[in-house]
Structure 1
Amino acid sequence: MATKQLKIQFCEFIPTEIEEGTLYISMEFATASHKCACGCGQEVVTPFTPTDWKLTYDGESVSLSPSIGNWSYQCRSHYFIKNSKIVWAGNMSQKAIDAGRFHDQLNKNRHYKQHDTSMEETQNKDGRQDKPNEKRAGIFKSIARFFGF
Structure 2
Amino acid sequence: MTPTDHFAAEFVESFPSPLTPGVLYVSTKYSMTVHLCACGCGGEVAVKLAPARYRVVFDGNISLSPSVAATALPCNSHYFITRGEVDWHRQLSARQTERVRAADQRAVAAQRADFEPGWPVRLLRRLRGRA
Pairwise mapping of residues 40-119 of structure 1 onto structure 2 (< 5 A)? Answer: 40-58=41-59, 60-115=60-115, 117-118=116-117
Other structure's SS at 2:53 match:
coil
Determine what percentage of the aligned residue pairs are the same residue: 28
Q: Residue 73 of structure 1: CA displacement?
A: 0.8
Q: Tell me which stretches of 4 or more aligned residues in structure 1 moved more than 3 Å.
A: none
Partners of 1:19 and 1:25 in 2: CA distance: 13
| CA apart distance, 1:39 | 0.6
| Partner of residue 142, structure 1 | none
TM-score (norm 1): 0.76
CA contact (8 A) 2:36 2:43 kept: yes
> One-letter code of the match for 2:19?
I
Instruction: Write the distance in 2 (CA, Å) between the matches of 1:72 and 1:28.
Output: 25
Alignment length (residue pairs)? 123
For residue 65 of structure 1, give the secondary structure of its aligned residue in structure 2. strand
SS in 1 for 2:98: helix
| Structure 2: distance between partners of 1:93 and 1:32 | 24
1:136 — aligned with what? none
- For structure 2, the residue ranges without an aligned partner over 5 or more in a row are 126-131
Alpha-carbon distance between aligned partners in 2 of 1:108 and 1:96, rounded to the nearest angstrom: 18
Q: Secondary structure at the match of 2:42?
A: coil
- Residue 27 of structure 2 is matched in structure 1 by 26
The secondary structure found in structure 1 opposite 2:5 is coil
Determine the structure 2 residue equivalent to 1:141: none
Q: Which amino acid aligns with 2:52?
A: T
CA shift, 1:91, in A, is: 2.0
In 1, are the aligned partners of 2:76 and 2:92 still within 8 Å (CA)?
A: no
Query: What residue number does 2:11 align with?
Result: 10
Q: How does 1:124-135 map to 2 (within 5 A)?
A: 129-131=123-125
Q: What SS does the corresponding residue of 2:112 show, helix, strand or coil? A: helix
> d(CA) in 2 for partners of 1:21 and 1:15?
14
Unmatched 5+ stretches in structure 1: 124-128, 132-149
